[in-house]
Amino acid sequence: MNEIKIFSPATVANVSCGFDILGFALNSVGDEMFLKKTDNEGVTISLIEGADLSYEIKKNAASVVVLAMLNKTNANFGVDIQLFKKVKPGSGLGSSASSAAGAAFAVNQLLGKPFSNLELTEFARIGEKVACGSPIADNVAAVIHGGFILVKSYKPLEIIKLPVPKELWVTVIHPQIEVKTEDARNVLKPTFPIDDAITQSANLAGLVSGLYTDDYQLISRSLIDVIAEPYRKNLIPLFDEVKVAGLLSGALGVGISGSGPSIFALCKGENIAKKVEEGMKKVYKNSTVDFNVYTSAINKRGVEILSSK
């Protein structure tokens, strides 16, 4: 394979009760990337559309991953990257993860697939560290593995792919403001009461159990975040109003996607997801906040090859 074009999905991370350890991929929105072998060794970026990102190889989430993989394999070719960003940086939908994980997947194809999905996740974390200062794995793992993932451990990295109930859908509304991951982390408290730790742990266990048993009511009762949401919601315009509107429209639960400002609502079935979409949209339509909204089944495939040769 000499060139490849891919779709790299957007993601929802944390999923309320799973701070830095839960994530899932979306069907309805993601980046496209085109990677091509070159005769000159090294990495180049010839095009970036849709976002103001660095063309410097060591400052771009995609190119640092490609460079690391080429160096690891002593590849005798270079790679040129074209990025078509549909996931905005600072959206809370895994923009840097889409670039980093998509690049890892694509270069693995160009190299003849020497690396496992777990190894690709490790490479993609390099891009996350460049983009947001922390080598988090929840978003990139969801992009690479698809579906719903749990980061069981970071040392060593262990990813568990969780089952996705057949009727599980998600609606995501993205107010058109930027919340930087660093800023969203800075508002969190460095310590929290043991009662909150117990509550969060119980909710995480309940959500995982609900996914395995298709228990939508248990999933609903478990989508509660007592660690991050109480502090991060203040960075998001009309968060409480959007959350109430989503729940009144039938959502199983509503929370902050990643570090925000996007807000996700898990739903049982497409019809309810569309009702939730309308309910959440009304809040922002009655305000001065511009927004985008996406309704999607959970993407179980992860990165998808659009063309290759």
Q: Tens digits of per-residue pLDDT, 268-305?
A: 999 999 999 999 999 999 898 899 999 999 999 999 99
> What's the pLDDT score for residue 179?
79
Instruction: Determine the longest span between alpha carbons in the chain, in angstroms.
Output: 59
> What's the pLDDT score for residue 133?
84
Which SS3 state, helix, strand or coil, does residue 15 take?
coil
Considering the chain, tell me which residue range(s) the CATH 3.30.230.10 domain(s) occupy: 3-162
**Of 173-182, 188-197, 283-292, minimum mean pLDDT range:** 173-182
Nearest of 126, 135, 129, 137 to residue 160 by alpha carbon: 137
Work out the pLDDT band at 125, boundaries 50, 70, 90.
very high
Work out the pLDDT band at 132, boundaries 50, 70, 90.
confident
Report angle CA 119, 124, 307 to the nearest 5 degrees.
90
CATH of domain 3-162: 3.30.230.10
Q: Tens digit of pLDDT for each residue in 215-243?
A: 999 999 999 999 999 999 999 999 999 99
> What's the pLDDT score for residue 165?
96
Q: Strands 78-84 and 42-49, how do they pair? A: parallel
**Of 164-173, 185-194, 226-235, minimum mean pLDDT range:** 185-194
Mean pLDDT, residues 259-264 taken together: 93
CA 125, CA 114: separation in Å to the nearest integer?
Answer: 18
> What's the pLDDT score for residue 180?
76
Q: Which CATH class is domain 168-297?
A: alpha beta
User: Looking up tokens 């048993």, which residue turns up?
Assistant: 213
Token pair recorded at residue 254 = 């509503």
> What's the pLDDT score for residue 158?
97
Q: Which residues contact 243 (CB under 8 A, 6 or more apart)?
A: 254, 255, 263
E strands in the chain: 3-13, 22-38, 42-49, 78-84, 148-154, 157-162, 168-175, 253-256, 263-268, 291-297, 304-308
Q: Tens digit of pLDDT for each residue in 84-117?
A: 999 888 888 999 999 999 999 999 999 999 999 9
Mean pLDDT, residues 66-74 taken together: 97
Mean pLDDT, residues 265-269 taken together: 98
Considering the chain, tell me which residue range(s) the CATH 3.30.70.890 domain(s) occupy: 168-297
